[in-house]
Structure 1
Amino acid sequence: MFSELELDDELCQAVAEMGFTTPTSIQQLVIPAAMETKDILASAPTGTGKTAAFLLPACQFLLDFPRRDPGSTRVLILEPTRELALQVYEQALAIAKHTQLKCGVITGGINYGTDRDLLESNLDILVATPGRLFEHIETESFDCRDIEVFILDEADRMLDMGFSTVVNQISAEARWRKQSMLFSATLEGGGVARFAKEILNDPVTLEAEPSRKEHAKIHQWAHLADNWKHKYNLLVSILKNQADTAIVFVKTRESLMALKDNLQSSGIENCYLQGEMPQDKRNLALARFKAGEVKVLIATDVAARGIDVPNVSHVINFDMPYKADVYVHRIGRTGRAGKKGTAISLVEAHDIELLRKIERYTEQNLKRRIIEDLRPQNKEPRPPKIKKKPKTAKAKKTKLKKKGARPATPNKEPKVRHRDSKNKGKRSSE
């Protein structure tokens, strides 16, 4: 129960109204340590309640130590994308519902005047994207000196998007803070470790092992496609006959626009998300999909992280991602909070090697399935055989030594050197 974590009744009531009764594994680990104002370095799989794990102790800190004088933001939360920032802001509003805490959000794509009005209103919690916030710091319209808790969410994604320098500058501006927390989907790799070393002070490292109930149950398989047209026909068949709601991932804006128009002409209503969209259109597209007005959302990888839409039945990789780890983030949009989900990859011949890399990365083989009316004409190419290097004489000698045998030496005539024979039979001069 959340009440056992020494949270105020107002917070417990809000969490109960959100439909949560028992803390997840990451919440059980983070909340007690965070409430002791320790720096936190934490990782947990997507969809396991990570956001509440940092929002609840942050809100409890603000309730335990109420603001004495008017001032700037006390808790700063950085998110890599606009959608994530808005999502975390909505959750902060829900958790702080029965308190007097004031929350705000700042992202790119919004009028600067609106931002300034918000920043002048004695915020308790500010959720922001790094680029836009740093612009306000440079123009001195945001003061970091009152920040007491600094939270960096999706740190690995921040690195992927090239935000490390800006985040470190914001961290330096907020150097008087009492506590820092860094969350990442994985703690592997030197980038996150360097981030943690620069931002955190003697942190507690927490890695959650989700319970079976929390684990995403995502059924994964692949369909082989002969060409783009065949791949498109597979997609239409899946969307019409299998999927209730689906996120379809593509690589580029050009691919997105072509697919959007083709699906529309096939009678499949859809909306889309891509990086260059104005913020109001992005918000509207996501709102329509969340409300169930449209069943298909087409997205580039801007939506591959952290978009929390309940009850997404299918994730479909129309274009395979550039990297294996992006595949994992994409399919994490389904099977949220232990629900069942399905992830389907449509794979052309040039994607086969990437599919095998994904299988090695995830340590599981993706079963190849066939839709009877859309059987592929071409077979999957066999993986190339790895040629064994010919053994050198030194390697053979080492092998013989290990076996305890002496290498055979052929019987050779003793070598006669020229210097030993050139003066034979000559008389020495007296």
Structure 2
Amino acid sequence: MQHLLDFPRKKSGPPRILILTPTRELAMQVADHARELAKHTHLDIATITGGVAYMNHAEVFSENQDIVVATTGRLLQYIKEENFDCRAVETLILDEADRMLDMGFAQDIETIAGETRWRKQTMLFSATLEGDAIKDFAERLLEEPVEVSANPSTRERKKIHQWYYRADDIEHKTKLLVNLLQQPEATRAIVFVRKRERVHELANWLREAGINTCWLEGEMVQAKRNEAIKRLTDGRVNVLIATDVAARGIDIPDVSHVFNFDMPRTADTYLHRIGRTGRAGKKGTAISLVEAHDHLLLGKIGRYIEEPLKARVIDELRPTTRAPSEKLTGKPSKKVLAKRAQKKKDEKEKPRVKKRHRDTKNIGKRRKPSAAGTPSASSDE
């Protein structure tokens, strides 16, 4: 923004900064924050997202715009129809790039990047740079990038209290969740599940227990999504059930608890989930409900966040099954680690044999020397 103010253009035109986001909700949030920052300036900010009629975007094409925040699908449609001019874009910003890759937008982003090839700067924001997919994507899009890491301080991380409860089965897990949601400190909670089908199942189970909920799922129309979020923020209900895909980009204030009813598939997703609580300087609580098959992932999450999750028990709902062996945490045993260290040491101490290029060439099968070429033995008589 400061660059736009320091170097204003002489006449109005298409956007100079283009920000891509994975979801409509996130696009609206980014645009709202941008407008707040630009409140006392001449900068114009607009959004281009799906779920909005074309006529509502007409002013974006006809009027001056300095910053446009967009979702990839609708923007690409306008680019192909030659309604959106990319030639003035100086900076391309990819927000939550890891999420956009997860949602299958890589090809769309590369197409948009090609259309904005006159830009001077590209910025990629991601919660994590772990994994080959995001690294390869960054290499294709960025030229000689500078990596800036912003790790939360220990003080910030400790604002979210994390622990887990062991569950025997799905029925036991539901009873644990009902008990925890009925605690007075659970003022506003998000319950995460893996699949869309589980959203409705869990909503019915909680309703039978006297807990009213709202929910988000991937196929919901925008109006219903907005209504579900409004019911939660207005206080009509205090529990939201959502899948990871459906909850992307939503910003709900004052979330006291995050529950992992179904454990996430990756440690990275776990971080995204629990980041919904403990915001704006407030403390939060993240609770995982863990069945036997989840323990391997539990160990991985503990190593990823560099803090093992501690187990808790509700006296009247104690698990009847034994906890899995510590060997099932996925962490190599001391014996295996010692063997690996010794092998590494042996390889280090082994004398290196110099390999010359000529020795590696395929010289074919050597011929045996012919009889004529062999010297005959002579003797003095």
- Deviation of 1:293 after TM superposition, in Å, equals 3.6
Match of 2:301 among 327, 348, 358: 358
Distance (whole Å) between structure 2 residues aligned to residue 291 and residue 121 of structure 1: 36
Tell me what 1:331 maps to: 274
The residue type equivalent to 2:147 in the other structure is T
8 Å CA contact retained: 1:304, 1:329: no
Partner in structure 1 of residue 213 of structure 2: 270
What do residues 124-143 of structure 1 show as CA deviations (whole Å, max 9, x unaligned)?
21111112211111121211
- Give the aligned partner of residue 235 of structure 2: 292
Distance 1:172 1:283, change over 3 A: same
CA contact (8 A) 1:85 1:129 kept: yes
1:204 maps to 2:146: yes
- 1:368 aligns to what? 311
The answer as to 2:182 corresponding to 1:258 is: no
After TM superposition, give the deviation of residue 217 of structure 1 in Å: 1.7
**Alpha-carbon distance in 2 for matches of 1:81, 1:316:** 23
- Letter paired with 2:216: L
- Following superposition, which runs of at least 4 residues in structure 1 exceed 6 angstroms of deviation? 385-389
User: What SS does the corresponding residue of 1:259 show, helix, strand or coil?
Assistant: helix
CA deviations on 1:339-397 (whole Å, 9 max, x unpaired) are 311110111223222223322333322111111121111121214588989xxxxx9xx
Find the partner of 2:95 among 153, 164, 175.
153
Q: Secondary structure at the match of 1:128?
A: strand
Counterpart among 166, 169, 177 of residue 224 in structure 1: 166
Give the distance between the partners of 1:205 and 1:351, measured in 2 at CA.
Answer: 34
SS of residue paired to 2:262 = coil
Map 1:405-420; keep pairs closer than 5 Å. Answer: none
How many Å apart are 1:295 and its aligned residue?
Answer: 1.4
Structure 2: which amino acid aligns with 1:155? A
Alignment correspondent of 1:84: 26
- Alignment match, 1:178: 120
* AA partner of residue 73 (structure 2): G
SS of the equivalent of 1:336 reads coil
2:3 and 2:227 mapped to 1: Cα distance? 34
Determine helix, strand or coil for the equivalent of 1:195.
Answer: helix
Q: Is the 8 A contact 2:48 2:71 kept in 1?
A: yes
- 2:168 match: secondary structure: coil
Q: How many residues are matched?
A: 335
Give 1:333 shift: 0.9
Q: Which residue of 2 aligns with 1:245?
A: 188
- Rounded to whole Å, the distance in 1 between the matches of 2:131 and 2:198 is 31
Q: Which letter maps to 2:46?
A: G
Pair 1:95-2:95 in alignment: no
User: 1: distance between equivalents of 2:313 and 2:154?
Assistant: 30
Partner Cα distance (1:127, 1:284) in 2: 23
Residue equivalent to 1:163:
105
- Contact between 2:24 and 2:249, CA under 8 Å: does it hold in 1? no
Report the secondary structure of 1:191's partner residue: helix
Q: 1:195 aligns with which of 137, 149, 164?
A: 137
List per-residue Cα deviations over 1:101-138 (Å, max 9, x = no partner): 22222222222332344333322211111122111111
Could you state the TM-score of these two structures normalised by the residue count of structure 2? 0.80
The separation in 2 between residues aligned to 1:212 and 1:350, in whole angstroms, is 30
Does 1:344 pair with 2:287? yes
Instruction: Please tell me whether the aligned partners of residues 258 and 274 of structure 2 are also in contact (alpha carbons under 8 angstroms).
Output: yes
Q: Which amino acid aligns with 1:225?
A: A
Query: Mind listing any 5+ residue stretches in structure 2 that lack a counterpart?
Result: 337-341, 350-381
Q: 1:330 Cα deviation (Å)?
A: 0.8
Q: Please give the alpha-carbon distance, in whole angstroms, between the structure 2 residues aligned to 1:296 and 1:190.
A: 36
Q: Which runs of 5+ in 1 are unaligned?
A: 1-58, 390-394, 403-430
Alpha carbons 2:27, 2:69 under 8 Å: kept: yes
**Offset of 1:70 from its aligned partner?**
2.9
> Separation in 2 of the partners of 1:342 and 1:298?
16
Moved more, 296-305 or 208-217: 208-217
- State the Cα deviation string for residues 175-230 of structure 1 (Å, max 9, x = none): 11222211111233333333333333333322124445544521111111122221
Structure 1 residues 115 and 266 mapped into 2: Cα distance closer, same or farther (>3 Å)? farther
Q: Partners in 2 of 1:220 and 1:303 — Cα distance? A: 23
d(CA) in 1 for partners of 2:165, 2:99: 29
SS at structure 2 position matched to 1:73 = coil
1:316 aligns to 2:263 (yes or no) = no
CA distance in 2, matches of 1:62, 1:344: 44
Tell me how far apart the structure 1 counterparts of residues 167 and 71 of structure 2 sit (CA, whole Å): 39
Contact between 1:317 and 1:345, CA under 8 Å: does it hold in 2? yes
Call closer, same or farther: CA 1:377–1:310 in 2, change over 3 Å: same
Q: C-alpha root-mean-square deviation of aligned residues, in Å?
A: 2.6
Matched residue type, 2:226: N
Q: 1:293 to 1:93 in 2, by over 3 A?
A: farther
Q: Is 1:115 the counterpart of 2:57 in the alignment?
A: yes
Q: Please, which moves more after superposition, 310-319 or 260-269?
A: 260-269
2:48·2:70 contact (CA, 8 Å) conserved in 1? yes
Aligned 8 A contact 1:216 1:337 in 2: no
**Residue 273 (structure 1) shift:** 1.6
Q: CA distance change for structure 1 residues 111 and 262 in 2, over 3 Å: closer, same or farther?
A: farther
The CA distance in 2 between the partners of 1:229 and 1:215, in whole Å, is: 32
Contact 1:89 1:127 in 2 (8 A): yes
Amino acid across the alignment from 1:121: E
Residue 44 of structure 1 corresponds to: none
Q: CA 1:87–1:293 in structure 2 vs 1: closer, same or farther (change >3 Å)?
A: farther
